[in-house]
Amino acid sequence: MALNNIIELREETFASEVLSSCVPVLVDFWAGWCQPCRILLPMLEDLATEYEGQVKFAKVDVEKHSVLAAEYRISGVPTLILFKDGEVEDVIVGLKSKRDLKASLENALTPA
């Protein structure tokens, strides 16, 4: 399921959608009860539109997919993990500004 260019991930789809992606992937680990997660969603939707084709955006509900949350050591939500070439490029914990998120994305898009 996609929500305004944001893919809902499950354990079965994580590797193909994130680790095998040819573009950077920003994964939002969130929970339904998390108010900062709700505040973050419109920012992520805007960024998903702005970076369409350059960065993939995805969400993982930590309550439904606790195996993924445990694998990536998610101890608080929201936690955003930016993957590039299948590796963790950046970890952003808590609610950040759109400018901070864009800075992380731009950094990932800059050739090494």
Give the residue numbers annotated as catalytic, written as ranges: 34, 37
13 in helix, strand or coil?
helix
Determine the length of the chain.
112
The two beta strands, 87-93 and 79-84, are antiparallel
Alpha-helical segments (H) within the chain: 11-14, 35-50, 66-71, 98-109
